[in-house]
Amino acid sequence: MSEIKLFVTHTPNRNTVRIEHPLMYNVIAGSAFLTQSVPEGMLLDNEGDNISFKNKSYCELTTQYWAWKNQTADYYGFCHYRRYFSFSKVNLQEADCGCLIYPVLSENVKQELCMDEASMRQTIEQYDFLIAKGIPVNALQAKSVYQHYKNAPELHIEDLDLFLSIIREKYPELNDVAEKYVHGKIFYPCNMFIMNKELFFQYSKMLFDILDEFEQRCDMSRYSREGLRTPGHLGERMTGIFFEYLKQKGGYRLGQLQMAQIEQNEGTSKISVSEDDEIPVVLAANQGYVPILYTCLQSIADHISEQRDYKIYIFHTDIEPESQNEIRKLKKKNFDVSFVNVRSRVAGYQLKAKEHISTETFYRFLILDILKMYPKVVYLDCDMIIRRDIAELYDVKLGDNMLAAVIDPDFAGQCNGANADTLAYCRDVLKLKDPLAYFQAGVLVFHMGQIADKISVQKLFEMSDTGIYKYSDQDILNIVCEGKVTYLNMQWNVLTDCNKYRWQHVIKSAPYYVMDAYENARKDPYIIHYAGAAKPWKNPKDDFAKEFWKVARKTPYYEELLYDMCGQAKEKIHPGKAVVDVLRKAAKKILPQGSWIRRTVGNLYWKLK
């Protein structure tokens, strides 16, 4: 049996997804620049004979050099933490860029790519050299590989010319193939290949000899950060040249594999409880909602007790590192904020929220898995202002109930006369015994053991996949937890008078005791919930808007919130851009991926934009 080693390169000082596979080895490219602890199971390319210190210019080639000098195998291969090979015998549907696109490297994706050991071995051992499938350069808005390099804004075409001249001098047998390749119309991307030992050693000796000569002749002292990566870019071209050279020479078993690009590659963080009496609080948001999230967190931090410890978890899929660092500045001795990327956990589910509700609302289901080590967990929507110590909410006695929540006065009003359709929906779809017991899910205290005994996260997501629920996950939780709810004082979740309509046209129809509770709660709300389409960051005249802006002024996003509010006002006057964006989304659904007409329409969109 052949010894196969596929090295998966990772960036230093980043928490990226590490794959566990008998043929794959995770290695940090540029380990010489590590400033953080080494994740478990990672190999380092600065051990033994190495050029790890050159990573800023050689990129992942430092790992190739290290493997060449220090590793023993029958086959050597290289891919990235965000790019893998497909070993499927079926040609899979590619995106416009010429590769396969997946949100996460889930188990289903691995199966589709045939990444099991047996399939990989069967494919690899049939070849001497496998390379990432070539991409037509017209998909890269170029007429040749040479022009593609020339079009790169921070690269210098003179460097490619120098590279070719060095090949001509040192390896004249490659010259004709090199010229033909760079002026050809197929580009082999990303330095991804698998070679048998003989070819790998031949290629590595040749490549690093050429790059060493290039470094001696080229002055890169004034290059930009991307320009400094020139040796890595040239190495990428060299892979294609060597492949074409062997093809011309003949006698080798050569093949191409489709390349799969993984959009979400942030590694999961290990979660542990640091204090026995720690209060876990979960919010869910996306990058676009960061200013609102920060404002909510600021209001929580303003009302914490010095005698308690608070652990805030932000569930997300796309909040950028810069935004995370900004939010972490809220940290205090007893108030900590952590980010949990849940993209891999929700992959494969069709999370379709309705109307103004975002898909992030479904992430609260994941609390049952991710934070199962806690006895209780508080969940809060982030379109809220907190005016009370959240510890008081956490301390609510739950008995044997599954969660604590507040009666939904809006839903009660609809069911009690304001909207006959809601009552019919509650009876026919939700099948609730008592529609007036329906709770609002923006503020919850999960009783972890009790709810986990009743239902799994997978089942909750499967229910959401049906798409039959008007209020999404809120409806689902009401079905699952019916009869096992501790009802909180309505002060803990005061819905605003959305568009100055909800109070006197909907809640007014609710039973008198619900209306009384709502009006009393409005006098001293512990939590103000801006539920509905009307938001104070869109209109400063909305109900309880002053409470939002009072907190927002303390945040680093105050000016951004003002700017965005002004921008929304402008869009009402100049809706042209919005129309173009709508047309773009429609075109993406209608036009086939990879087609010339789709690329043409895409180019037109960017001109209009």
Question: Is 267 a member of any domain?
Answer: no
pLDDT of residue 206: 98
Which of 108-117, 261-270, 319-328, 458-467 comes out lowest in average pLDDT?
A: 261-270
Mean pLDDT, range 160-171, rounded to an integer: 98
Note down the domain range covering 95: 4-262
Question: Does residue 467 share a domain with residue 386?
Answer: yes
pLDDT of residue 330: 96
DSSP-assigned letters across all residues of 571-597: HHH--HHHHHHHHHHHHHHHSPTT-HH
**Paired residues of 101 in beta bridges:** 261
| Average pLDDT in the chain | 91
Question: Is 547 a member of any domain?
Answer: no
Mean pLDDT, range 463-472, rounded to an integer: 83
Structure-model confidence comparison of residues 584 and 63, the more confident one: 63
Which distant-in-sequence residues (6+ apart) come within 8 Å of 84 by Cβ? 8, 19, 105, 113, 115, 259, 260, 262
pLDDT of residue 609: 46
Question: Does residue 319 share a domain with residue 257?
Answer: no
Question: Does residue 105 share a domain with residue 51?
Answer: yes
Query: Which of 533, 564, 598 is where one domain is finished?
Result: 533
pLDDT at 581 over 80: no
Structure-model confidence comparison of residues 85 and 364, the more confident one: 85
Q: Which stretch of DSSP H or E encloses residue 15?
A: none
pLDDT at 573 over 80: no
Question: Does residue 309 share a domain with residue 216?
Answer: no
Query: Which of 204, 234, 262 is where one domain is finished?
Result: 262
Question: Does residue 185 share a domain with residue 95?
Answer: yes
- What strand order describes the sheet that includes 310-316? 335-341, 310-316, 279-284, 376-380, 439-447, 403-407, 485-487
pLDDT of residue 263: 86
Neighbours of 90 (CB within 10 A): 9
Mean pLDDT, range 469-478, rounded to an integer: 88
Question: Is 554 a member of any domain?
Answer: no
pLDDT of residue 356: 46
Question: Does residue 390 share a domain with residue 253?
Answer: no
Question: Is 485 a member of any domain?
Answer: yes
At 413-433, the pLDDT tens digits run 999 988 989 999 999 999 999
pLDDT of residue 350: 53
Answer yes or no: are the C-beta atoms of 436 and 416 closer than 8 Å.
yes
Question: Does residue 204 share a domain with residue 329?
Answer: no
Which of 167-176, 220-229, 585-594 comes out lowest in average pLDDT?
A: 585-594
For helices 61-70 and 197-217, give the axis angle rounded to 10 degrees: 130
d(CA 525, CA 495): 10
Question: Is 60 a member of any domain?
Answer: yes
Mean pLDDT, range 192-201, rounded to an integer: 99
Q: Which stretch of DSSP H or E encloses residue 154?
A: none
At 358-382, the pLDDT tens digits run 567 788 899 998 999 999 999 999 9
Which distant-in-sequence residues (6+ apart) come within 8 Å of 497 by Cβ? 503, 504, 543
Give the chain's length: 609
Number of separate domains in the chain: 3
Q: How confident is residue 147, by pLDDT bands cut at 50, 70 and 90?
A: very high
Question: Is 255 a member of any domain?
Answer: yes
Q: Which candidate, 257, 264, 262, 263, places its Cα nearest to that of 86? A: 257
Answer yes or no: are the C-beta atoms of 460 and 479 closer than 8 Å.
no
Query: Which of 262, 297, 323 is where one domain is finished?
Result: 262
Question: Is 223 a member of any domain?
Answer: yes
d(CA 515, CA 413): 9
Q: Which candidate, 90, 174, 187, places its Cα nearest to that of 132? A: 187
Question: Does residue 299 share a domain with residue 174?
Answer: no
Rg (CA), the chain: 29
Q: How confident is residue 604, by pLDDT bands cut at 50, 70 and 90?
A: low
Whole-number percent of the chain with pLDDT over 90: 76
pLDDT of residue 345: 76
pLDDT at 203 over 50: yes
At 481-538, the pLDDT tens digits run 999 999 999 999 999 999 889 999 999 999 999 999 999 999 999 999 999 989 999 9
Question: Does residue 323 share a domain with residue 200?
Answer: no
CATH of the domain at 125: 3.90.550
CATH of the domain at 452: 3.90.550.10
- Using CB atoms within 10 Å of the CB of residue 320, give its burial: 0 to 12 exposed, 13 to 18 middle, 19+ buried: exposed
Question: Does residue 451 share a domain with residue 303?
Answer: yes
At 245-287, the pLDDT tens digits run 999 999 999 999 999 999 877 776 667 676 678 999 999 999 9
pLDDT at 193 over 90: yes
Question: Does residue 296 share a domain with residue 199?
Answer: no
Q: How confident is residue 462, by pLDDT bands cut at 50, 70 and 90?
A: confident
d(CA 394, CA 403): 11
d(CA 451, CA 439): 16
Mean pLDDT, range 203-224, rounded to an integer: 98
Q: Token pair of 203, please? A: 């290629």
Mean pLDDT, range 466-486, rounded to an integer: 90
pLDDT of residue 16: 87
d(CA 237, CA 61): 12
pLDDT of residue 470: 86
Q: How confident is residue 582, by pLDDT bands cut at 50, 70 and 90?
A: low
Question: Does residue 225 share a domain with residue 80?
Answer: yes
Question: Is 251 a member of any domain?
Answer: yes
Which distant-in-sequence residues (6+ apart) come within 8 Å of 48 by Cβ? 66, 69, 70
